[in-house]
Structure 1
Amino acid sequence: MEKKHINPPELFVHPSYTRVITVSGPSKLIFIAGQTPSDERYRPVEIGNMRGQYLRVMEALTIQLNAAGATWDDVVYRRIFVLDMDAFINVQTDPAMTYPWHPDRPPPSTLVGVTRLSHPDFLIEIDLMAVTSG
């Protein structure tokens, strides 16, 4: 299986995501449902703290990727839902933040501002699609 990251030269190369990923060859598709900043009993964590909630979501997504036999290098699409776009952008642009993917190969991504998530204290939710060798 081959994955190719493409940022067409005619378009701005965004530092937070790759424009296109192609996958060819035998593969296994992995779909991870929207992950919220919740504990093992679906209670909100880090209430009011976008950075804390983002980190919890990323930790939970890493656990799910590992359970499916995948890593962040296998993620081919990420969709992010946030209540406060400015707060999220501040987290994403903080130079102190680290990310689990290779800095030259972030997954393609869509960022959507919403008015509410499944619990009023959730500020963020992220779902993923990953591909591994079949």
Structure 2
Amino acid sequence: MDKQFIHPPELFKHPAYSRVVTVAGPSKMIFIAGQTASDENYKPMFVGDLRGQYHRVMEALTIQLKAGGATWDDVVFRRLYVLDMDAFIKIQTDPAMTFPWHPDRPPPSTLVGVTRLSHADFLIEIDLFAVTGA
């Protein structure tokens, strides 16, 4: 089994975890660590703006999927941590919102309300699990 740990150069290289880990065998499994709305220096972006942070997180996750050789169509699980559940559900159910996955194949998800993330200004964090052909 081949494991590859990837740190996309476009993102801050976090000292406590790898951004992307791929595991190849008969299929390739891609584990993406929790992503917050941070810049390349791990500084919070869109402070106080959940919608802005959500879009930044999705942009960074797209970069990480690509680095692992996957797309949103390969995502088989998504876990979300949010500080304000009601505000997030409002964003998710807004008819104007668009999502990077096929509307008939959204990834399975777990949504968890939390009291704090790794920085007081982060409002959302999302991690992913994707699988591609080896």
Q: TM-score, normalised by structure 1?
A: 0.81
Higher relative contact order (CA closer than 8 Å, sequence separation 6+): 1
* Unpaired runs of at least 5, structure 1: 1-24
What secondary structure does 2:115 align onto?
coil
What secondary structure does 2:101 align onto?
coil
Shift in Å at residue 116 of structure 1?
0.2
- 1:43-82 superposed matches below 5 A: 43-82=43-82
Shift in Å at residue 33 of structure 1?
0.2
Counterpart AA for 2:48: G
Q: Give the match for residue 111 of structure 2.
A: 111
Q: Give the match for residue 84 of structure 2.
A: 84
Q: Give the match for residue 98 of structure 1.
A: 98
- 1:29-44 superposed matches below 5 A: 29-44=29-44
Counterpart AA for 2:107: P
Q: Give the match for residue 9 of structure 2.
A: none
What secondary structure does 2:125 align onto?
strand
Q: TM-score, normalised by structure 2?
A: 0.81
Q: Give the match for residue 132 of structure 1.
A: 132
* Structure-2 separation of matches of 1:40 and 1:97: 26
What secondary structure does 1:51 align onto?
helix
Query: 1:83-120 CA distances to partner (integer Å, 9 max, x unpaired)?
Result: 00011001101111000000000000000000000000
Shift in Å at residue 26 of structure 1?
2.4
* Structure-1 separation of matches of 2:74 and 2:55: 19
* Structure-2 separation of matches of 1:108 and 1:91: 18
What secondary structure does 2:132 align onto?
strand
How many residue pairs get aligned? The number is: 110
Counterpart AA for 1:127: D
Q: CA RMSD in A?
A: 1.0
